[in-house]
Amino acid sequence: MTLPELFDLSFIGRREQPGLVFEGAIRTFGDLDDSASRMANLLVDRGLKKGDRLCVYLANCIEYIELYLAATRLGVIFVPVNALYRDREIRHILEDSEPKAIITTAAQTEFIPSSPTPVWLLTELCDEARLQPNTRRIDVLDGDTPAAIVYTSGTTGPAKGAVLTHHNFVVNAVNLLTCWQITPADKILLALPLFHVHGLGNGIHCWLASGCRMRLEKRFEHNHAAQWMREFEPTVFFGVPTMYVRMLEWPSETASVIGAKMRLFVSGSAPLPVQTLEDFRSKFGHTILERYGMSETLMNLSNPYNGERRPGSVGMPLPGVSVRNLDPDGNPVPDGETGELYLRGPNLFSGYWRQEEATAAAHRDGWFRTGDIAVRSADGYYTLQGRRSDLIISGGFNIYPREIEEFLSEQPGVAEVAVASSPDPRRGEVPVAYIVADDTFDAKALETACRAHLASFKIPRAFLRMDKLPRTALGKIQKHLLPKWVPR
């Protein structure tokens, strides 16, 4: 099945029904279908065809959805670019994915480095799209066609593009509808960024596959989200742990009013602290359902909708997902013992874009190596215990220290650098930089340089000058021996 076929359950089946609320305006599924058709016709006029890549560098908006729908209908490969990315990160995606164009707003153009890729302004596209006919056109033929390339930073080298097919996304959405019992009677409040698989593959797809109503927000703002929930009365909310930590700051009365209307709170993209789950339960009257996924695999494991949602655990495999917990030699570990998770299933990506070696390195005997360390209980619940790599997850955004280390080591006066994780009550973790430098060392200047070239969530919270970095006899930096940073 292709995504257009799945989405037509709403676009054709529920044409007259209100589907989307954004900034106070309500759009029916029919309206959205027509604007997606116009956008698709425009993209064809602009020369896009099946297999071409299209980068979209935008914050959440209705046009984001229209562009995505248009691309999926044409078999054009959608390449979402994190709206917080800056020139360095964007340059790599443009060079690697070689898109026909990158679409953005006038305000965001200043962050796009000069390159051969044409920059298309959203306002111009929208003006032109309005003049296009709303004739439906669906050129994508089968579910094995790539739908999107989602860039994920790696422990080694620059970010790699995970190629996700229509089939991957369809299977993921159908699994979630079934397992989380999402129906047309639901109302989803979506404040996750659409440039990640959490917002796109879970949020947008569950909405369109179920035909329920969705209110989309530009981004999660903890000062406003309570008001949005009181107005819209959502029944389903997808969030990252930082959002749930923020929601605990709301007054109890607000929490109980919202909790009374809600059917399901889901958390993912980063570990949900047990304390947050417990505090949330007493305040909102709901046990957050924690699940586990990755850009390369979409959703893998989930706590049950009915049955015990076990604190600290990510639950059991979703339908069709095979999970193995293996020791370093590739042998299965018994329940109760620590192993590394390997996965197989129809949800798994088809490989890294133009990176055969990296794709091969990420697999073992046909199983995808997640890099996540886990224990399975005797009754089948998996609990994640950490990662093989030193990945930092801040507010649900992945940060690979190596990328920041490489950038900082290029700065004048910097001799050596290590970036490590520091615990943070709201974001879970934040990066901190430890730097060996000459006397020109200037923490402020380094921060300014980072701010100009890297996404805001990657900017180290502190730049600490060190005489030397702790190293093993073989010269490897021992990050666990770095002094703890205490925020002032």
Q: Which position among 129, 240, 258, 272 is part of the footprint of ligand MLC (CB under 6 A)?
A: 240
Cβ nearer to ligand MLC, comparing 161 with 268: 268
Is there a contact between 120 and 76 (Cβ–Cβ < 8 Å)? Answer: no
Nearest to 370 by CA among 295, 303, 480: 295
Instruction: Choose the binding region for ligand MLC from 176-184, 235-243, 364-372, 436-444 (rule: CB under 6 A).
Output: 235-243
196 in contact with ligand MLC (CB under 6 A):
yes
Instruction: Choose the binding region for ligand MLC from 9-17, 191-199, 311-319, 478-486 (rule: CB under 6 A).
Output: 191-199
Nearest approach, Cβ of residue 8 and ligand MLC (Å): 26
Q: Which position among 19, 146, 268, 428 is part of the footprint of ligand MLC (CB under 6 A)?
A: 268
Q: Provide the token pair at 228.
A: 């949005």
Residue with tokens 């091969």: 360
Q: Which position among 269, 325, 359, 421 is part of the footprint of ligand MLC (CB under 6 A)?
A: 269
Cβ nearer to ligand MLC, comparing 91 with 458: 458
Cβ nearer to ligand MLC, comparing 143 with 239: 239
Q: Provide the token pair at 458.
A: 């990657």
Q: How far apart are CA 407 and CA 411, in angstroms?
A: 7
Q: Which residues make beta-bridge pairs with 340? A: 326, 373
Q: How many residues bind ligand MLC (CB under 6 A)?
A: 28
Q: Provide the token pair at 183.
A: 């129906």
Q: Provide the token pair at 65.
A: 């959805």
Taking each helix axis from N to C end, the angle separating 62-74 and 3-11, rounded to the nearest 10 degrees, works out to 130
Q: How far apart are CA 219 and CA 204, in angstroms?
A: 14
Tell me the per-residue interface mask from 135 to 174 with ligand MLC, x by CB under 6 A, - otherwise. Answer: ----------------------------------------
Nearest approach, Cβ of residue 128 and ligand MLC (Å): 27
21 in contact with ligand MLC (CB under 6 A):
no
Is there a contact between 348 and 168 (Cβ–Cβ < 8 Å)? Answer: yes
Q: Which position among 41, 117, 165, 295 is part of the footprint of ligand MLC (CB under 6 A)?
A: 295
The C-alpha torsion from 204 through 209 and 211 to 213, rounded to 10°, is -20
Is there a contact between 103 and 122 (Cβ–Cβ < 8 Å)? Answer: yes
Point out which residues bind ligand MLC (CB under 6 A). 59, 83-84, 192-193, 196-199, 219-220, 222, 240, 242-243, 246, 268-269, 293-295, 395-397, 426-427, 456-457
